[in-house]
Amino acid sequence: MLSWLARKLRGSAPTAYLTHPDCALHDMGHGHPESPDRLAAIQDRLIAAGLWDHLLHVEPPLVRREQLALVHPPRYVEALDQASPSQGVVHMDPDTVMGPHTLQAAWRAAGAVVKATDLVIDGTAANAFCAIRPPGHHAESCKAMGFCFFNNLGIGVAHALSRGIERVAVADFDVHHGNGTEELFHDNPRVLMVSTFQSPFYPYSGELPMGPNMHNVPLKAGSRGEEFRAAVEREWLPALQAFQPQMLFISAGFDAHREDDMASMGLVEDDYAWVTERLMEVAAEYAEGRIVSVLEGGYDLSALGRSVAAHIKVLADL
């Protein structure tokens, strides 16, 4: 359960849930693990768990070009515009496919994180979860990869900084290293990133942090909750407490679940609830409770739905 301070800071403001039908239109082909079914599985589980009606449902706008430009140069955005097919598909890399509706979904996904950031900063929501796709934490400033086109969370972080938040922390527990987010912020003293990920594993980065504000904790294949929790307590929490962030963003990837065959880790729903509680405590102490959580990976549909429900249950203090 949350501390008394966390409850006080939450007040009566709800947890916002941001998604949009556009995000389900992006389709990388039959059998691709990053499928529209992921969002349906999350919604179904939230309804079944009795959480759906407790959330503030917000339909996000499309991101604006000037907001994209906070992390992506206009030439990159224009290159994606030119590559977007009117029919068929275009491969940005062997696993990252752009179809006719991909860019609409990507613009909507980034817009959701910007909107969530505003809702939380303005106090309309205590915190927020963005159920969006395509995901974003592999997207670098000028490179689409790893199912990602825009770095959704990175755009939200940059937007928060532009709104006067002095120090922003990013926590990434996806099974893959968030190379894109690290590339965007490794030289920014106003941003701290803490992460865990399976290593060696795609994208084969992160073992050597790019800057002193990057606290990366590689975990061996087969690691379970004990190793994950020890990494958080040993590496994440001291770094976060020393940094004293005024806002937290979570790259919420659930593909380290033991039932997800995308990787070889052994986390379960209780581990995701536990780490969410720890991050909520940091946010309560230093950031007035401000958290924006952004969906990244998670490809076993049942495990994904259950894990997101556990995560949101803690965010919403239900």
CB 116, CB 125: distance < 8 Å:
yes
Handedness of CA 114, 117, 121, 122 (dihedral sign): positive
- Can you tell me the distance from the alpha carbon of 311 to that of 300, in angstroms, rounded to the nearest whole number? 16
Of 235, 161, 130, residue with least CA distance to 193: 235
Does the annotation mark 32 as catalytic?
no
Residue 63 CA, chain-centre distance (Å), reads 16
Q: 3-state class of 113 per DSSP?
A: helix
CB 99, CB 184: distance < 8 Å:
no
List Cα–Cα distances, 226 to 2, 24, 231, 248, in angstroms: 21, 35, 9, 24
Query: DSSP assignment, residue 88?
Result: S
Of 215, 216, 292, residue with least CA distance to 247: 292
Q: 3-state class of 105 per DSSP?
A: helix
- Can you tell me the distance from the alpha carbon of 285 to that of 205, in angstroms, rounded to the nearest whole number? 32
Q: At what angle do helices 102-122 and 152-162 cross, to 10 degrees?
A: 40
Choosing from 20, 26, 138, 177, the catalytic residue is 138
- Can you tell me the distance from the alpha carbon of 236 to that of 3, in angstroms, rounded to the nearest whole number? 19
CB 295, CB 289: distance < 8 Å:
no
| Active-site residue set | 138
